[in-house]
Amino acid sequence: LLSLIGDQYGEDAHNVNGCVVSVRSKGDRISLWTRDWRNVDVTKRIG
């Protein structure tokens, strides 16, 4: 989450479209929305 706020994705920053943070009693969840999920290399670099 801090990487997203601090724009730490470098050349891959344009591939991150948004995020959702869900705080739950059984465990929190962070989901990143990316431009193209089929680009496996970029998805792995983003994390």
DSSP string, 4-45: HHTT--GGGGGGEEEEEEE--TT--EEEEEES-TT-HHHHHH
In a domain, 43, yes or no: no
The pLDDT assigned to 3 comes to 62
Range of the domain at 26: 2-35
The pLDDT assigned to 15 comes to 76
pLDDT digits (tens, 9 = 90+) for 5-45: 566 667 777 777 788 899 999 999 988 888 887 888 887 87
Global pTM? 0.56
In a domain, 28, yes or no: yes
Instruction: Domain count for the chain, please give it.
Output: 1
CA 20/CA 41 separation, integer angstroms: 22
In a domain, 23, yes or no: yes
In a domain, 40, yes or no: no
The pLDDT assigned to 22 comes to 94
In eight-state DSSP terms, residue 46 is H
The pLDDT assigned to 4 comes to 63
